[in-house]
Chains A and B, each alone.
Chain A
């Protein structure tokens, strides 16, 4: 099919929108509310174009191409209309750009620049500002919201959580949970996917930067930082690198320059998680425990299950996440080994995730007598702190993680992407169960971006049936099947965010449609290049069990590395 855009002939597929066709032809039509494939309601009207023969201007994001269509994307009429629309949006938007967390990353700001808007002709009352900062993870500022509804769509269509919706009508509409409540009194799982799609500063993470700066400057505190696998393949983006470029060594030296006393690798505690989780799986299979067992590293996923399927939390592994396990080990084993009192140690983690902030503040994450993790920075926050400290990541030297919790295994590295925890677990389960060496380490059945992946793995004559799910919106059917006692699986990996942690709500903002594939490729590259690729072969893990923990699922592990779950729905709705 052929259409003409600005007089240029363009070959298009039927069902394409004008916006897609124009992008294909290299013509940039500004768009704001649209998210391809997820959110196509044409609500903001910024993308209007002239179509020959049409009575009115047409929104390019939802108007389908037709044979022989003639489209004009930047005529005076179109530009005037867009400017008017943008000015109307700006007339109810606070002029606080210089001190906004989204400054320079705001899509509204970019549009204003692109369309050369230098004054706003409309004056009127501003919508009231309602700030919801009760959540330890996500902050909402209604004054900066332009009602584009991207957050609503990602929350309902991708995550299946439906925490927020447009409440009220007309100019008094706000995006909020039912009853205009705080998100803390809603099903919100704190995943931060809404933060990633918000075009303005209406949704941001709750910053822990101030408390981390304070700890770094306190000579009485010994600061220990751990970095999650997904951070190293994404933080480079904030300094201009291609997505997925691993910058592990540079990140370590930058963290040291920032002033941390010790820089450790969360991959190490991912290995520890595998030791405990695989032992738990084997125990459940041998002793007739609840199956399928489901992974528990993703705090957004935990929040989801605790709210929507609280009767199924017995299927969750009781293992704490790697972040929390690490904190507990630092404040016990490491404190003793290094001769530093636990109350002087301040543990920070750098995570691709906002839900990790929530997780770190759960009351039960305190099993050593001290908070496992004292502060959680997102990848974005760390990038911003490095810039504030004048540290250029790219010109930093390459350094190794500190001993003893330095290099994790390759299995730990792939914890950051969908399928990775499963693959890491299979590598260890095979050898733990059969006592034989696993020849082919790579389980390609679980290595893609399909929404639900299944595999059956022969382990010493036993067929282990597994599934891998990412994006909470894809999990419901599997859970209903479990509820009916019909699940065919032994073991399921669930990651809350699409693509896994590399697509987490704390990662650098990106418009690259291939962002997930690129970051995942970076992690598999890390895995391939590490000398140890199985968790149980990590020498420090062996040492930790020998010197401190005893054995997986032992008394000490039970106290420090395992947790329990709650019925979040009951907690919240006892309020009505």
Chain B
């Protein structure tokens, strides 16, 4: 629901950008992935309307576009939250209890990993190794990296972000 509201609000300017990106690559063979990548940079994710535009303009069936979008972990079909949380589940973080961190986050925010809260504030994603193995389990929230996470630390960080989100309107 929220997605469509956002779409209407951001509509004009962003869809203009999407058209420009498509226009730039339209006649280059094999350009599908860079096009999708750039559109995601603008929109934050790849909603179906954008995939449909790419399909029409580049004359690639929508099923094929979506097949590629859904294959690569790099692409997201759902909008990310204002606070985009990534939990590393690489081997080192995994053995140090990344699973418990994910469970804790899911419980606190009431969503599954891969989803976004209905108010659009938080999203949880499970990510591959981010290279901070010695400091695991590692959680990233937007550009901030949180190391050696434990359940109570997670709770403290999230509670304070919820307050910020509400306070900041």
Interface residues of A (CB under 8 A from B): 156, 162-169, 177-179, 186-187, 573, 576
Contacts and interface: CB of A to CB of B under 8 A. Distances in A.
Given A178-B51, A179-B48, A573-B52, A168 B70 contact: yes
The 9 closest A-B pairs by CB, nearest first: A162-B61, A178-B66, A165-B63, A165-B67, A178-B62, A576-B49, A167-B70, A169-B71, A178-B63
Interface string B59-103: 001111111001111000100000000000000000000000000
A178 B49 contact: no
A167 B61 contact: no
Q: Give the one of B63, B65, B71 with max A CB within 10 A.
A: B63
Given A178-B51, A576-B49, A576-B52, A168 B71 contact: yes
A interface secondary structure, majority: loop
Contacts of A169: 70-73
Contacts of B64: 162, 165
A171 to B, nearest CB: 13
Q: Give the one of B49, B70, B72 with max A CB within 10 A.
A: B70
Nearest to B65: A178
Given A156-B61, A166-B71, 10 more contacts: A162-B64, A165-B61, A165-B63, A165-B66, A165-B67, A167-B70, A169-B72, A178-B63, A179-B77, A576-B49
A177 B52 contact: no
B63 A163 contact: yes
Contacts of B52: 573, 576
A164 B63 CA distance: 6
A119 B113 CA distance: 36
Contacts of B73: 169
A331 B81 CA distance: 59
12 contacts: A156-B61, A165-B61, A165-B64, A166-B71, A167-B66, A167-B70, A169-B71, A178-B51, A178-B63, A178-B66, A179-B77, A187-B62
Contacts of B71: 166, 168-169
A311 to B, nearest CB: 14
Q: Give the one of A166, A178, A186 with max B CB within 10 A.
A: A178
Nearest to B63: A165
Contacts of B70: 167-169
Contacts of B72: 169
B154 to A, nearest CB: 26
B63 A162 contact: yes
B19 to A, nearest CB: 16
A576 to B, nearest CB: 5
Contacts of A166: 67, 71
A167 B71 CA distance: 7
Interface in B30-61: 48-49, 51-52, 61
B48 to A, nearest CB: 5
Nearest to A162: B61
A156 B67 CA distance: 13
B63 A576 contact: no
Given A167-B70, A168-B70, A169-B71, A186 B48 contact: no
A576 B61 CA distance: 16
Contacts of A187: 61-62
A247 to B, nearest CB: 39
Contacts of B77: 179
A43 to B, nearest CB: 14
Contacts of A178: 48, 51, 62-63, 65-67
Contacts of B66: 165, 167, 178-179
Contacts of A168: 70-71
Contacts of A165: 61, 63-64, 66-67
Interface string B108-137: 000000000000000000000000000000
B67 A167 contact: yes
Contacts of B51: 178
Contacts of B67: 165-167, 178
A443 B164 CA distance: 80
B15 to A, nearest CB: 12
A165 B68 CA distance: 10
Given A168-B70, A168-B71, A177 B48 contact: no
A158 to B, nearest CB: 14
Nearest to A167: B70
A156 B62 CA distance: 12
A55 to B, nearest CB: 28
A504 to B, nearest CB: 23
A249 to B, nearest CB: 45
B63 A177 contact: yes
A573 B52 CA distance: 9
A157 to B, nearest CB: 12
Nearest to A152: B63
B113 to A, nearest CB: 13
A162 B65 CA distance: 11
A164 B71 CA distance: 14
B128 to A, nearest CB: 13
A168 B75 CA distance: 11
Contacts of A164: 63
A127 to B, nearest CB: 15
Contacts of A167: 63, 66-67, 70
A186 B63 contact: yes
A186 B66 CA distance: 12
A163 B77 CA distance: 19
B62 to A, nearest CB: 4
Contact of B48 (A156, A162, A163, A576): A576
B144 to A, nearest CB: 29
A156 B61 CA distance: 9
B165 to A, nearest CB: 29
A164 B61 CA distance: 10
A166 B69 CA distance: 11
Contacts of A186: 63
